[in-house]
Amino acid sequence: MINTRVAVAIHILALIASKPHEDLPSDYIASSVNTNPVVIRRILGMLKKEGLIRTTAGKAGASLTRPSSEITLLDVFRAVEPKDSLFAVHENPNPHCPVGKGIRSVLDRAFSEAQDALERNLSGETIEDILQDLFAEE
């Protein structure tokens, strides 16, 4: 299972985008996400490092560095997920086994195709799309 960092990061960015003229402290964001402010600050740091948000020293809150329509979910995914592949094949399958000797190349191809599909899908959705979907449901 993929961890929840991507979902939390999207939640954070959508919240910031929905209140562009408000300085939202990490406590407020944490209450919306229903998690600890430390988790929020850690993810905010990742988003800042990737250039998706900006913060001001000594001042609560963050702002988007570009319009929400220009921040894709792939941008968010890449900001908060490890840079390795999403999937990994177990180490050292038995090379003398008919399955073990070929499993790595077969799974590498399958996993690569799955990751490509995920990235294509995420690149087609933006934070603005998330906001529109959220407010359409109300």
pLDDT of residue 82: 76
pLDDT of residue 60: 79
pLDDT of residue 87: 78
pLDDT below 70 — which residues of the chain? 1-2, 84-85, 137-138
**φ, ψ at 108 (rounded to 5°):** -55, -45
Q: Report the DSSP pairing between strands 53-55 and 62-64.
A: antiparallel
pLDDT of residue 59: 77
pLDDT of residue 3: 78
**Whole-model pTM?**
0.86
Determine the 3-state secondary structure of 93 from DSSP: coil
pLDDT of residue 1: 45
pLDDT of residue 2: 59
Q: Which fold has domain 5-136?
A: Arc Repressor Mutant, subunit A (1.10.10)
Cβ contact 55:94 at 8 Å: no
Contacts of 6 (CB under 8 A, 6+ apart): 73, 76, 77, 80, 81
* Domain-wise residue ranges, the chain: 5-136
Determine the 3-state secondary structure of 16 from DSSP: helix
